[in-house]
Amino acid sequence: MSGRDTGNDYDLAAVTGGGDAALPNGGILNAFVEAVVARDMPSVAAARAALADAMGEAAMVDAAATIAAFNAYPRAADATGIPLEEAKRDLTADLRRELGLDILETVA
Amino acid sequence: MLAVRSAEHRVGQEERDVRRRERDGGRRHRAEPDRAEAIALCDRPDQWQRKDRDRKALGKGAGGEDEARSAGCAMGLSIRRHIAGDHLPDAVLSLTLSGPILKPVPTAMAEALKNRMPEADPEMLPGEILPGESLPGMGTFAAAALPIRPELGPALDRGWAQLGEPGAWLSGAERVAAVREARAAWDCAVCRERKAALSPYAIDGPHDSATDLPDSWVDIVHRVVTDPGRLTERWCRSVRNAGVEEDEYVELVTVATIATVIDTFALAVGLSLPDLPAVRDGAPPRRREPTATPGPGWVATIAPENAGPGFADFYANDSHFYIRRSLTLLPDEARKFWDVMNPLYLADPRIRELDGLDRAIGRAQMEFLAARASMLLGCYY
């Protein structure tokens, strides 16, 4: 949606493999989310400082907020077993295949 | 804890005031009009209450206390335009009414003021940063010396406090115990072993529990916290077969998730984890939601078409996604969950990049973080 609106191209493979996703400060954001999800506190501190340095403290806070929210949705979804909506499943079929996401559906 | 700069600072304040007045050539300091306005407002709390009512009438949210507190932590001087005496703790009021800041203030607050008041004389603002500090009487997040959006800090504080209140099926004490378990899970040896195993269901053994909650409850909380991506319907059924009510299961998931999310935000931004919420007395109603029906996942939910008049608004703005619906077996708990999540992410995810976001990062950056976090947690949805 975002890229379609702005005309920008993004590297979606970074969602699964890490990297900068061809986003401004993408590498820094990736380091931050990886550190926070891993709860690796020294890495969190370093990534937080790098992010605040590059994008400002407010951006660091909003990045943390998004990461925090997406520590909730997966837990709520996975603990209640909700399926992907049919419409969303159809719309994202190619993308899921390309990124190898379908494996997550059966991994457990 | 109030961190107080050296007494010399306060002693020297008068001298600095004199120097400033000399430097300003006798001009009135720019904070003075605001100070006068604040004092006038405090003398007339009815004025603030009227403004509060007006805001609510316009559908602009609670306003009042939350707004004042947020403004206080985020903007420093702007608090003077937003206060009434009975809305704010004394420490904030002192700060607010002091004009040039004469009284000791938390150092974190002082640092925030420095950052947001570039026009202010740095010598007016004492203090050194003590991470995790907050004002007495204010929540961890609303008072934090960070540019946390005004709607977000109070939402996190409120969400945290609600974890100590009686829920739909669990008491306040049980909910706080679940919060303790959510934290203990990260240090649980069995959870670590399971996380490293090819299948988490191949590893047995008691969790390193921090409470006297039933083992089945502890297992739910620990698994949801440490390995949510590998929960299965079979496991969920086994939990139910062990005697856990479906409603209890959903509430444990909700509490563990909210606690984990708020802790995650705190550690991400560098704040200390909040103290455990205070336990509030009271019995949970333990009433089965009559409009809930099975599915679309492993637990019953309220489908949008079945939502009664008291819950139909929950599905406004086409928010019919299954994730929105997932915890609605307990409608009040679902609302608490989303009251925390909406300001963290977006109340309406349909907003587009160019529509304007009240965020310091772009929509594409948000979606990358969202997708990456979900991927790292092994979430298919």
Contacts of A79 in chain B (CB under 8 A): 224, 228, 231, 236, 253, 257
CB of A95 less than 8 A from some CB of B = no
Query: Does the distance separating the beta carbons of B254 and A69 come in below 8 Å?
Result: no
Say if CB B221 and CB B182 are below 8 A apart: yes
Inter-chain Cβ pairs, chain A and chain B, closer than 8 A: 240
Closest chain B C-alpha to A32 CA, distance in angstroms: 8
**Any residues with CB less than 8 A from the CB of A86 and at least 6 apart, and which?**
none
Element (H, E) at B192: helix B189-196
Contact B230 A25 (CB under 8 A): no
Q: Note the pLDDT of residue B140.
A: 81
Amino acid in position B133: E
Residue A58 at interface with chain B, using a CB cutoff of 8 Å: yes
pLDDT category, A85, cuts 50, 70, 90? confident
Identify the closest residue of chain A to B262 by CA–CA distance: A68
A-chain residue closest to B223, CA distance: A79
Q: Residue B379: its chain A contacts at CB < 8 A?
A: 73-74, 77-78, 104
Show Cβ contacts of residue B231 under 8 Å, excluding neighbours closer than 6 positions.
A78, A79, A81, A108, B223, B224
pLDDT tens for chain B, 381 residues long, are 222 233 333 334 445 444 444 444 433 333 333 434 443 433 333 444 444 444 444 444 434 434 433 333 333 333 333 332 333 344 444 444 333 332 334 444 555 555 555 555 444 443 333 334 444 445 688 878 788 888 899 899 999 999 999 999 999 999 999 999 999 999 999 999 999 999 999 998 899 999 999 999 999 999 999 999 999 999 999 999 999 999 999 999 999 999 999 999 999 999 989 999 999 999 999 999 999 999 999 999 999 999 999 999 999 877 678 999 999 999 999 999 999 999 999 887 666 655 667 889 998 899 999 999 999 998 766
3-class SS letters over chain B: CCCCCCHHHHHHHHHHHHHHHHHCCCCCCCCHHHHHHHHHHHHCHHHHHHHHHHHHHCCCCCCHHHHHHHHHHHHHHHHHHCCCHHHCCHHHHHHHHCCCCCCCCCHHHHHHHHHHCCCCCHHHCCCCCCCCCCCCCCCCCCCCCCCCCCCHHHHHHHHHHHCCCCCCCCCHHHHHHHHHHHHHHHHCHHHHHHHHCCCHHHCCCCCCCCCCCCHHHHHHHHHHHHCHHHCCHHHHHHHHHCCCCHHHHHHHHHHHHHHHHHHHHHHHHCCCCCCCCCCCCCCCCCCCCCCCECCCCCCCECCHHHCCCCCHHHHCCCCCCHHHHCCCCCHHHHHHHHHHHHHHCCCCCCCCHHHCCCCCCCHHHHHHHHHHHHHHCCCCC
Q: Does B318 touch chain A (CB under 8 A)?
A: no
Residues sharing a CB contact under 8 Å with residue B357, sequence separation 6 or more, in sequence order: B346, B351, B363, B366
Domain boundaries, chain B: 7-146, 161-350
Answer yes or no: are the C-beta atoms of B252 and A80 closer than 8 Å.
no
For A6-54, the pLDDT digits (tens) are 666 666 666 677 777 789 999 999 999 999 999 999 999 999 999 999 9
SS (H, E, C) B129-159: CCCCCCCCCCCCCCCCCCCCCCCHHHHHHHH
Angle subtended at Cα B51 by Cα B67 and Cα B69, rounded to the nearest 5 degrees: 15
pLDDT in tens, A63-81: 999 999 999 999 999 999 9
ipTM of this complex prediction, to 2 decimal places: 0.85
